[in-house]
């Protein structure tokens, strides 16, 4: 039997019937609140020759939408590309009001009130966990599963150290440099060494979680 991954890209895995995963009755019209409101951000690629990197980063980073219930999360998630699509030589593209197309370098999900930049007070004393995934060493379904597992655990507050997590980033570096990769980053607030180690283990546990047939 082929391996099934937690992916929402029908090109790499069979469609997952979420209704089959429901273990108890629930009125779909009743909102299921999350512990936090989250914002989805995008970062478009810097213009060639830009001199002020900090100002350019801020200008190219945009708040797209927010969600604070299970229902609104899934409504948004259905319209967000899965990482595996990048392995198929696709790029995330944003068209501005003038009709100009821009490459999106990163998708980011951060708690409300926290901007996805190190200058934000909640980030500048913290740190991040960075995972570089090489295109020749990973399958599309596995890449999606890593990303989906982390996002669901973080926004759903099922990861033990979720209170210390500020946000998560998916960074497309496939078309840049001599070492192309897709990068997953988890940004955390300032915490002691014990929490840092626990958070790292929690992330690894998310990566190791598999679908059960």
What are residue 101's DSSP bridge partners? 95
Where do the H-state alpha helices sit in 109-175?
140-155
pLDDT digits (tens, 9 = 90+) for 59-116: 899 999 999 999 999 999 999 999 999 998 888 887 777 778 888 999 999 999 999 9
With beta carbons less than 8 A apart as the criterion, state whether 193 and 134 touch: no
Tokens 């929490």 sit on residue: 195
Per-residue DSSP letter, 94: E
User: What spatial distance separates the first Cα and last Cα of the chain, rounded to whole Å?
Assistant: 10
Helices (H) and strands (E) in the chain, counts: 5, 7
Long-range contacts of 85-90 (CB under 8 A, 24+ apart): 85/9, 85/11, 85/140, 86/172, 86/174, 86/182, 87/135, 87/140, 87/143, 87/174, 87/182, 88/11, 88/140
Nearest to 35 by CA among 162, 141, 134, 180: 162
pLDDT at 159: 93
What is the set of domains in the chain, with CATH numbers?
32-208 (3.30.760.10)
pLDDT digits (tens, 9 = 90+) for 183-206: 999 999 999 999 999 999 999 999
Position 19 pLDDT exceeds 60 = no
Region of 168 on the Ramachandran plot (φ > 0 left; ψ -120 to 50 alpha; else beta): beta
pTM: 0.88
User: Strand, coil or helix: what is 130?
Assistant: strand
Close Cβ partners of 184 (under 8 Å, ≥ 6 residues apart):
130, 131, 133, 146, 147, 150, 168, 169, 170, 171
pLDDT digits (tens, 9 = 90+) for 42-67: 999 876 655 555 656 778 999 999 99
Nearest to 169 by CA among 108, 103, 105: 108
Position 207 pLDDT exceeds 70 = yes
Measured CA to CA, the distance from residue 23 to residue 62 in angstroms comes to: 37
User: Strand, coil or helix: what is 121?
Assistant: coil
Measured CA to CA, the distance from residue 129 to residue 131 in angstroms comes to: 7
């Amino acid at each position: 039997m082929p391996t099934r991954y937690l992916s929402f890209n029908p090109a790499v895995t069979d469609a997952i019937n979420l209704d089959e995963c429901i273990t108890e009755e629930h009125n779909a019209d009743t909102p299921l609140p999350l512990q936090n409101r989250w914002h989805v951000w995008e970062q478009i690629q810097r213009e060639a020759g830009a001199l002020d990197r900090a100002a350019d980063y801020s200008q190219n980073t945009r708040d797209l939408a927010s969600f604070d219930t299970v229902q609104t999360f899934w409504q948004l998630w259905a319209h967000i590309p899965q990482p595996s699509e990048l392995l198929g030589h696709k790029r995330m593209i944003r068209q501005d009001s003038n009709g100009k197309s821009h490459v999106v370098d990163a998708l980011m999900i951060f708690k409300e009130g926290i901007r996805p930049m190190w200058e934000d007070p909640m980030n500048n004393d913290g740190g991040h966990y960075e995972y570089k995934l090489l295109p020749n060493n990973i399958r599309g379904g596995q890449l999606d599963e890593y990303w989906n597992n982390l996002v669901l655990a973080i926004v759903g507050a099922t990861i033990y150290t979720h209170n210390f997590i500020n946000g998560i980033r998916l960074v497309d570096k496939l078309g840049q440099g001599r070492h192309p990769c897709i990068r997953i980053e988890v940004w955390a607030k300032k915490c002691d060494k014990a929490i840092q180690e626990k958070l790292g283990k929690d992330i690894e546990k998310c990566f190791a979680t598999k679908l059960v047939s």
